[in-house]
Amino acid sequence: MASEIAREMLDALHGLDRVLQENRRRSHARQVVESTFGILSRRFGLLQTTIPMEPSHAGDVVGSLLVLHNLIVKWQMEGREAEGQPPGIDRELDPLEDRVQEEEEEVRSAVQARELVSVYYDTRRMSEFSRLCHAAGIPEPMFLFIGGGNMASALIHGCIESGFATAKEIAISCQSEATQHKWKCEGFDNVFTSTSTMVKIFPNGIIVLAVKPQSRHAVYDMLLSNKASLENCPLMISILAGIDIPTLKTELNCIHYRGPIIRIMPNTAASIGNSASILCSEPGTPIEKVAIVKSFASKVGLCVDVEPKTFNAYGVVSGSAPAWAYVFMEALADGAVFTGCSRDTAMKLAAQSLLGAAQMVLESGVHPSILKDNVCSPGGTTIAGLRELEKSGFRSAVIEAVKAATERANTMA
């Protein structure tokens, strides 16, 4: 609805602009129309993308569109009356001038509509999340996080830090009053210890299912027992490890959710905007809704679309790799301490070295094996250390870790 209105309004404004450019005489009619056009064109310059509109204000905008369209038609009709010959300026303007008093009130309504829209939809005050929601036909932009643990915390803080959404556009349900108090102290007002209460207060919000996979059934039972229906929920985002979309669809159908489901697997580096996330959706999911999740995940780091059949394997690489990297980092520091170095200094150097190596791969596009060879001088220290890693089965251990974690994810449903 919003995108159609935007396109029609833009076409009307451009049409009116062309008509005005063809007529140079300043008349009362021209001044009124030109003034209205000037105001609206400045305010609606962002229509080259999409203006999100709530239904309550869409009517005002449509009314403005009709007024402008009718004026365009009248100007064009004056031209057709001249039997194909370009009418004189006086002949074209005078009949319209006679009728302009009747139109003036409607034009004022157009200006009023502009003011309404400018108040509610000034892009400098609207979050990207809000704009994307309206473009997707979701009138009440709200994230409902079911679960306030480490992963949810990383996503929420990353979302706020990146400016993607505001704290007022996020609601959180957590298990304890202590956790609720912590979130409230951070400036989040919509924090609940009851998921059912949160869903009832925000029935049209986008749900982010961020609990442990084994805890999801308790959430379903709570919603059912408290008659908290999800039938008005426009989108379900799952970060549950190992639970595929077909399984979720079957389970969520029992609590009256039949909308689209999108899976993402971020990691805890989302809290600092450096997550590596993967995303998959079921066929037929509206692209506007996928765009919300893709943009959300991209704001907290890298986000890659993957096929459902490979989701768990990629999820291990993105979700589990940070923990393994921490172990490797700690081992580097331990080795330095063993040789007499300060742990703090060694840890900083190890962390920065891994960060630099990762950035080299991402920014250069060069294969890691080539970058590795560039570091390993003939007969040098690096190749000597690499030999010891290979003797201990370093590569095989990493491969087996990915394999074991993927197999575990495949059995969690």
* DSSP per position, 120-182: H--TTTS-HHHHHHHHTT-SS--EEEE--SHHHHHHHHHHHHTTSS-GGGEEEE-S-HHHHHH
Whether residue 61 is contained in a domain is answered as no
123 — pLDDT class (breaks 50, 70, 90)? very low
Q: Which SS3 state, helix, strand or coil, does residue 48 take?
A: helix
Give pLDDT tens digits for 138-195: 988 999 999 988 889 989 998 898 889 999 999 999 988 999 999 999 999 999 999 9
pLDDT at 151: 87
Both 149 and 231 in one domain: the answer is: yes
* 98 sits in which H/E element: helix 89-120
Q: Which SS3 state, helix, strand or coil, does residue 394 take?
A: helix
- Nearest in space to 205 (alpha carbons), one of 197, 216, 214: 197
Whether residue 336 is contained in a domain is answered as yes
pLDDT at 95: 47
Higher pLDDT, 85 or 34: 34
- Tell me the two tokens of residue 278: 């993967």
pLDDT at 385: 95
Instruction: Give residue 177's Cα distance to chain centre.
Output: 29
Q: How far is Cα 79 from Cα 85, in angstroms, rounded to an integer?
A: 8
Both 175 and 283 in one domain: the answer is: yes
Q: Which domain holds residue 209?
A: 129-305
Whether residue 39 is contained in a domain is answered as yes
Q: Which domain CATH number covers 166?
A: 3.40.50.720
- 4 with 137: CB under 8 angstroms? no
Give pLDDT tens digits for 317-328: 998 999 999 999
Q: What is the mean pLDDT of residues 197-219?
A: 92
Both 35 and 172 in one domain: the answer is: no
- 233 with 138: CB under 8 angstroms? no
pTM of the model as a whole: 0.66
Residues sharing a CB contact under 8 Å with residue 31, sequence separation 6 or more, in sequence order: none
Both 396 and 276 in one domain: the answer is: no
Whose structure tokens read 């074991």? 404
Rounded (5°) CA angle 326-330-331: 120
* 26 sits in which H/E element: none
Higher pLDDT, 338 or 18: 338
Higher pLDDT, 123 or 173: 173
Residues sharing a CB contact under 8 Å with residue 201, sequence separation 6 or more, in sequence order: 171, 190, 192
In total, how many domains does the chain have? 3
1 — pLDDT class (breaks 50, 70, 90)? very low
Assign 3-class secondary structure to 258-279. CCCEEEEECCHHHHHCCEEEEE
Both 325 and 191 in one domain: the answer is: no
Residue type at 21? Q
Residue type at 75? W
Give pLDDT tens digits for 48-101: 334 444 444 444 454 555 555 555 555 555 554 444 444 444 444 444 444 444
pLDDT at 78: 53
pLDDT at 142: 94
- 219 with 251: CB under 8 angstroms? no
pLDDT at 270: 86
Q: What is the mean pLDDT of residues 97-112?
A: 52
The DSSP symbol for 341 reads -
Q: How many helices, marked H, and strands, marked E, lie in the chain?
A: 17, 8
- Nearest in space to 286 (alpha carbons), one of 130, 137, 127, 131: 137
Question: Phi/psi of residue 263, each to 5°?
Answer: -95, 135
Q: Which SS3 state, helix, strand or coil, does residue 155 take?
A: helix
Both 258 and 328 in one domain: the answer is: no
Residues sharing a CB contact under 8 Å with residue 99, sequence separation 6 or more, in sequence order: 74
Kindly report the average pLDDT of the chain as a whole number. Answer: 79
Instruction: Give residue 153's Cα distance to chain centre.
Output: 17
Both 296 and 383 in one domain: the answer is: no
Whether residue 379 is contained in a domain is answered as yes
Q: Which SS3 state, helix, strand or coil, does residue 304 take?
A: strand
pLDDT at 395: 94
Both 136 and 161 in one domain: the answer is: yes
Task: Please identify, among 270, 305, 340, the residue that sits at the C-terminal boundary of a domain.
Answer: 305
Both 216 and 171 in one domain: the answer is: yes
Both 191 and 230 in one domain: the answer is: yes
Bridge partners (DSSP) listed for residue 276: 302
